[in-house]
Amino acid sequence: MPQKLLFVCLGNICRSPSAENIMNHLIQREGLSDQIICDSAGTSSYHIGSSPDRRMAAAASKRGITLEGQARQFHPEDFEKFDLILAMDKENYRDILTLDLKGQYRDKVKLMCNFCRHHADQEVPDPYYGGAEGFNYVIDLLLDACEGLLERMKDKG
């Protein structure tokens, strides 16, 4: 049974699709595509059906990563479908747990930055209203976190 990961941010057009596609890139590179499946979602409904932000896609393509997918909203049934739910910031984390009415899935929900090995950030900043350097920084941060997450998953085997 493959492990299923869900990456969650606010709108599902910047941070979470980047994390999903970076993770898929790393998984393919390691030959683990049959063992780990990734998806992403947003806590809001602002951008449902939209493609990843073009500025985010440009930052990712500089590192050889293509951003694919359409934005969707996080739903309570995602708690059942996924083994690990990775929130980009503390507000997303709280918003996800608000939907866990009985508190039974709390241990599945983690902050993305908990897996960083080289960055001290507690949260993945939202680059939406900033300049290009913000998008580049988020890609670097997510590469770090995704590499750390993949290592942890491989260690657990």
Catalytic residue among 14, 15, 78, 146: 15
Please, is 85 exposed, middle or buried when counting C-beta atoms within 10 Å of its C-beta (0-12, 13-18, 19+)? buried
Beta bridge partners of 110: 86
Using only the alpha carbons of the chain, give its radius of gyration.
14
Q: Is 15 a catalytic residue?
A: yes
What are the helix (H) ranges across the chain?
A: 15-29, 54-61, 78-81, 90-98, 132-156
Give yes or no: 55 in active site. Answer: no
Catalytic, out of 78, 89, 126, 144: 126
Residue among 9, 14, 116, 146 flagged as catalytic? 9
107 part of the active site: no
DSSP 31: T
Residue with tokens 């979470």: 16
**What is the rounded CA–CA span in Å between residue 93 and residue 26?**
24
Catalytic residues: 9, 15, 126
